[in-house]
Structure 1
């Protein structure tokens, strides 16, 4: 399983958040693409339109389990995807910005 640490992510890296809507609305990384894991296959076209054509996709969830599933799916599709180890929990614990659905300071649900 290709994996990266939260500390390895740079500003501007493409981030795909696969948590559910309530988790996203409570708090997420600004600029991330949100497609819940429960809708991912149905919304795959939306992902391919937004994803970088020649860059890496960093997949994140709360702790790393759901994002691991999506990462494996993307790798099977030939996409350069990596799982963000520790997910949004480590993102927030590392002091990275978390915003809610209104762009205000959020929290990880």
Structure 2
């Protein structure tokens, strides 16, 4: 039932940190950090691409269309918005469950 509600509300599908890391390592996805520059400076996922949410409209074209874009913010709210926006432009997107907090909670590396 939750899946139906997610689709009804237009919420993007989520992905765990471990599955996101596996997709990136396999070359099937990139992680897009949509947080502010100050947030990214404090900690970020190694190898992630940074485009702040407020710049996504003008810079989305720099993202690869042949890979899944895994959107990431601090907790998952802004990245859900980014995933919806990119999906509307034809990208395949997922939202990182829990954002960077979830990534760190899974014991995965940050810089």
TM-score, length basis structure 2:
0.79
Structure 1, unpaired ranges of 5+:
100-109
Match of 1:60 in 2: 72
Aligned residues: 95
What stretches of structure 1 move > 2 A for 4+ residues in a row? Answer: none
1:36 Cα shift?
0.7
Greater helix proportion: 2
Match of 1:30 in 2: 46
* Cα RMSD, aligned residues only: 1.3
Task: Identify the range of structure 1 (25-34 vs 8-17) with the bigger mean alpha-carbon deviation.
Answer: 8-17
Match of 1:4 in 2: 15
Show the 5 A alignment for 1:36-55: 36-44=52-60, 48-49=61-62, 51-55=63-67
Structure 2, unpaired ranges of 5+:
1-11
CA contact (8 A) 2:65 2:91 kept: no
